[in-house]
Structure 1
Amino acid sequence: MTDVTRTAIRAAEALIRPHVRHTPVLEVDLADFGRPARPVALKLESLQHSGSFKARGAFTNLLTRDVPDAGVVAASGGNHGAAVAYAAARLGIPATIFVPAVTTPAKAERIRGYGAKLVVGGDRYADALAASEEFVAGTGAMTVHAYDQTETLVGQGTLGLEIAQDLPDLDTLLVAVGGGGLIGGIAAWFRGDVRVVAVEPEGAPTLHRALAAGEPVDAPTEGIAADSLAPKQVGRLMFPLAQQFVERSVLVTDEAIAAAQRSLWDAVRVVAEPGGATALAALLSGAYVPEPGERVAVLVCGANTSAVQL
């Protein structure tokens, strides 16, 4: 694959369709969350195989690239690793997953449960990535990057295609951002036809800072969602897509994320990890205020948490 186009995304969708779920849309009213009445659609990608949208990019990588006998390797805060481990198990491919110490036990257990070898490499995602690169140099395994790889972006873009099928009259989609693979792929699909708004934790304003600087730059990597939304920089492949097709980035506090996580459970009995609830936090906290009549959807992108944490 050479470019993140609608043609490439359509081809990937057809290829991975037997391996991924078409996840449901839940129509709700913000009155259910204690806010002024307004209809909102929740795209529950948290119900995807391996517990997040990452399965789409994982299967796209494994089904379109030549995988060596040494198998595949991924660095991940948890969700990408779980997705690569899941896809590798289904396709009979060995997988080694490097995670940082901040990875939650729920995500580590899921990776091990899929049969992958799990290695803790450093305190943050950047450390795990460096450790995985050393492993690749020594073994010849194939790297599956969490966000800065064409196949990954194209795979995540299949979620944009699916949302367009589910919600043909959509005006605005709120998407949580970490490294940017998800929003980059989705933006490449919609290409301005739908307003795509990035939502990031205040403690990890990666895309926010990049858009202000005009290029990917280092950002803090802290906060409640640090295991999924806190790389040092957004991907360089996604950044031109974000510049062209992401309307803006809004920031939310850890408190707002935790409140959205609780509200999803209390109001509609949907489980989300902090990163998965971040996009909804923008609506509930007022960080994003829709116009009257604006048709809004929120992407609930991950559910890899434990009942105790929730």
Structure 2
Amino acid sequence: MLSIKTPLIQSLVLSQLNQCQVWLKMEALQASASFKQRSIGYACQKYFEQGAQRFVSSSGGNAGLAVAYTGRQLGVPVTVVVPETTAQRAQELIAQQGAEVIVQGASWVEANALAQSLLTPDDVFIHPFDDPLLWDGIIPMIDEVIAAGVVPDAVVLSVGGGSLLSGVVAGLNKHGLGHIPIYAVETHGTASLNASIIAGQHVELDRVSGIATTLAAKKVCQNAFDLSQQFDIHSQVVSDQAAVNACLKFADDHRILVEPACGATLSVLYDQKIQFKLTDQVLVIVCGGAGISLKTLQGLNG
């Protein structure tokens, strides 16, 4: 099985804090520790069925680990190019799955350029966020929420390249919930969707910075920007420290370790950034993150 049905749990702490009903979709419990296992696993399976003999990917960490895990499950060799900002732990986990890991460049853009140059006719490039197959792979996440009897009135999630946002919108539309608000969270140093929304056009950041390295796409995918213009999507930008604080609180409250990219989403709830109604069912995507440890988090806690 390339991905699993993840638990949907009610957070009493966050429900009481925000005076609504907060539901956590625990994607951190996927085999590769993030929601990427759904999107990447689905895409790799489709390309494998079409005859792919090697998967090549570029990644800040989570996507690369998902490709490596899926390649091992399918018996397909994998090469992952990561930027220098990718956590050493994430690199080790990718290599542990049997994938070749290459470190290139200061950002994902440079890593991606090298990955593209490695492709042969027998290879398939697995994009970390910009491929409709990835978004299709995320739709079952929303199917599972609805099947559990929770019909969300709002969704809170993190945005890096935009695949999670794209897949969640597709899943909500499938169930006639395209009208509900989505709160799309980024950190100050990675806020490419926020910049595009403010500009009213699809723009690229000059640089990305900060500790939420798996959100560090200078430009969200075109689909994510288009959705922000068509649906009720609210941009939220938080500090690195707020993200770290939320990770530590979440570890205490729910005994689950997530990285700052996920902590950014959780910080919106812990810091009560949004006003919800008492009756609101709020779905929070706990997207996960593999390249993190408690020691690392504590070291980031300034």
Q: Provide the secondary structure at the position in 1 that maps to 2:184.
A: strand
From the superposition, tell whether residues 208 and 274 of structure 1 become closer, same or farther in structure 2 (CA, over 3 Å): same
- Could you tell me whether the CA contact under 8 Å between 2:238 and 2:264 is conserved in 1? yes
* Deviations 1:65-90, CA, capped at 9 Å, x for gaps: 22433x01000000000000000100
- Whether 1:75 and 2:58 are equivalent positions in the alignment is yes
In 2, Cα distance between equivalents of 1:300 and 1:193: 22
Q: Provide the secondary structure at the position in 2 that maps to 1:249.
A: strand
From the superposition, tell whether residues 241 and 84 of structure 1 become closer, same or farther in structure 2 (CA, over 3 Å): same
Alignment of 1:1-310 (within 5 A): 18-30=1-13, 35=17, 38-65=20-47, 66-69=50-53, 71-136=54-119, 140-191=122-173, 192-219=178-205, 220-226=207-213, 228-304=214-290, 305-310=292-297
Name structure 2 gaps, 5 residues minimum.
298-302
Counterpart amino acid of 1:214?
G
User: Could you state the TM-score of these two structures normalised by the residue count of structure 1?
Assistant: 0.87
Counterpart amino acid of 1:73?
V
From the superposition, tell whether residues 160 and 216 of structure 1 become closer, same or farther in structure 2 (CA, over 3 Å): farther
Structure-2 residue corresponding to 1:6: none
**How far off is 1:31 after superposition?**
6.1
**How far off is 1:217 after superposition?**
0.8
Counterpart amino acid of 1:308?
K
* Deviations 1:17-56, CA, capped at 9 Å, x for gaps: x4211111221223689x4654311111000110101111
Q: Provide the secondary structure at the position in 2 that maps to 1:88.
A: helix
Counterpart amino acid of 2:162?
G
From the superposition, tell whether residues 273 and 75 of structure 1 become closer, same or farther in structure 2 (CA, over 3 Å): same
From the superposition, tell whether residues 187 and 247 of structure 1 become closer, same or farther in structure 2 (CA, over 3 Å): same
Q: Provide the secondary structure at the position in 1 that maps to 2:32.
A: helix
Structure-2 residue corresponding to 1:3: none
From the superposition, tell whether residues 133 and 31 of structure 1 become closer, same or farther in structure 2 (CA, over 3 Å): closer
Between the aligned residues of both structures, percent identity stands at 31
Q: Provide the secondary structure at the position in 2 that maps to 1:203.
A: helix
From the superposition, tell whether residues 248 and 167 of structure 1 become closer, same or farther in structure 2 (CA, over 3 Å): farther
Q: How many residues align?
A: 289
In 1, Cα distance between equivalents of 2:242 and 2:226: 29
**How far off is 1:302 after superposition?**
1.1
- Could you tell me whether the CA contact under 8 Å between 1:187 and 1:246 is conserved in 2? no
- Could you tell me whether the CA contact under 8 Å between 2:165 and 2:184 is conserved in 1? yes
Counterpart amino acid of 2:96?
G
- Could you tell me whether the CA contact under 8 Å between 2:20 and 2:277 is conserved in 1? no
**How far off is 1:167 after superposition?**
4.7
- Could you tell me whether the CA contact under 8 Å between 1:157 and 1:182 is conserved in 2? no
Structure-1 residue corresponding to 2:300: none
**How far off is 1:127 after superposition?**
1.0
Q: Provide the secondary structure at the position in 2 that maps to 1:231.
A: coil
Counterpart amino acid of 2:34?
S
**How far off is 1:197 after superposition?**
1.5
